[in-house]
């Protein structure tokens, strides 16, 4: 039996293969002609089922015990697909965290699929957490500069991810830190472009309003926009200062660690001459000179 369900098979950086079925989104179930197989949609930012750590793509495909999904999109590991594979790895790590401590429950519905996570666990990287955090900030900023009510979900997401990043940074490798700082710099540039674009639009709108007049509510909204632009510029400045401080502290801690390691490495002490030569003299008696005997060398 077959039942359409969008899925992807991809190869991880460690060359193992994985299978992921995207989260199914029910369509208009009140429609008399509703067909779950073809009217449902799929969330490509979340997995419903994942199986990891397979030696081949075919082994990953066979890990699915539900109905035949019809087809799969296969992504072998290569530089050209690195960003997409990184995204799939992060979705897998999120699913692993969500299913931590649970085994696939074997629930069967909408065509007979298993829900859950199978295989070796995966963890989110500092870079992926940083990207999600920055996306939430940029979504908040986009609404803010347009004078809209701030989305509390984006603010809560930023707060939670900031706390997670704070815990991850001390354990990060130099490569992870470099990737983090690169993401941070790119994030600031995107925020700056957002503000500059918003300012330009606001100035154009103000010119239009002076010519044709505007209501009090429009004036109030433009005031909120101007204050939002100032707030985001302050956020960018604070982020730059934080980055400098973070990098300075990391260099200082590295230097301290290297100094500590070098101080523990002690020079080998000179080997002292101890004991006797051990060779026989002409009389047959043992030589009583030290091991650095001037006679027997």
Per-residue pLDDT tens digits of the chain, which is 297 residues long: 788 889 999 999 999 999 999 998 988 888 888 888 888 899 999 999 999 999 999 999 998 888 888 888 999 999 999 999 999 999 999 999 988 755 544 443 334 445 688 889 899 999 999 999 999 999 999 988 887 766 667 788 889 999 999 999 999 999 999 999 999 999 999 999 999 999 888 888 777 777 666 666 667 778 888 899 999 999 999 999 999 999 999 888 888 877 777 776 655 554 444 455 556 666 666 666 555 555 555
Q: What is the pLDDT of residue 264?
A: 66
Question: Does some domain include residue 263?
Answer: no
Question: Does some domain include residue 275?
Answer: no
Question: Does some domain include residue 41?
Answer: yes
12 neighbors 79 (Cβ within 8 angstroms): no
Determine phi and psi for 145, rounding to 5 degrees: -70, -15
Determine how many CB atoms are found less than 10 A away from the CB of residue 18.
27
Of 70, 99, 118, the last residue of a domain is 118
Q: What is the pLDDT of residue 21?
A: 94
88 neighbors 20 (Cβ within 8 angstroms): yes
Which residue range is the domain that position 133 belongs to? 126-256
Same domain, 177 and 89: no
Of 91, 118, 145, the last residue of a domain is 118
Q: What is the pLDDT of residue 221?
A: 76
Same domain, 102 and 138: no
Q: What is the pLDDT of residue 86?
A: 95
Question: Does some domain include residue 1?
Answer: no
Question: Does some domain include residue 278?
Answer: no
Instruction: Encode burial over 86-96: b for 16+ CB neighbours within 10 A, e otherwise.
Output: eebbbbbbbbb
Same domain, 35 and 78: yes
- Tally the domains of the chain: 2
Of 118, 146, 167, the last residue of a domain is 118
Phi-psi category of residue 53: left, alpha or beta, with phi > 0 → left and psi -120 to 50 → alpha: left
């Amino acid at each position: 039996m077959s039942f359409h369900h969008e899925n992807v098979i991809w190869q991880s950086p460690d060359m193992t293969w994985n299978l992921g079925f995207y989260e199914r989104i029910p369509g208009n179930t009140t429609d008399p002609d509703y067909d779950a197989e073809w009217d449902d949609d799929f969330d490509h930012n979340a997995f419903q089922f994942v199986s990891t750590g397979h030696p081949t793509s075919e082994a990953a495909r066979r890990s699915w015990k539900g109905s035949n999904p019809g087809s799969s999109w296969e992504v072998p590991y290569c530089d050209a697909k690195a960003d997409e594979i990184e995204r799939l790895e992060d979705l897998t790590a999120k699913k692993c965290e969500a299913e931590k401590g649970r085994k696939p429950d074997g629930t069967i519905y909408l065509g007979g699929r298993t829900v859950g996570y199978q295989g070796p666990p995966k963890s989110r990287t500092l870079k992926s957490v940083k990207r999600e955090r920055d996306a939430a900030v940029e979504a908040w900023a986009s609404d803010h500069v347009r004078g809209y009510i701030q989305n509390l979900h984006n603010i809560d997401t930023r707060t939670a991810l900031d706390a997670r990043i704070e815990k991850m940074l001390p354990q990060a490798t130099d490569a992870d830190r470099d990737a983090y700082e690169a993401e941070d710099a790119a994030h600031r540039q995107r925020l700056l472009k957002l503000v500059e674009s918003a300012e330009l639009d606001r100035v154009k709108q103000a010119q239009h309003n002076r010519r044709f007049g505007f209501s009090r509510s429009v004036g109030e909204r433009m005031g909120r926009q101007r204050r939002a632009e100032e707030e985001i510029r302050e956020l960018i400045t604070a982020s730059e200062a934080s980055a400098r401080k973070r990098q300075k502290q990391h260099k200082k801690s590295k230097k301290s660690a290297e100094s500590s390691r070098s101080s523990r490495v002690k020079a080998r002490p000179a080997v002292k001459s101890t004991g006797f030569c051990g060779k026989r003299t002409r009389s047959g008696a043992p030589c009583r000179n030290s091991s650095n005997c001037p006679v027997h060398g």
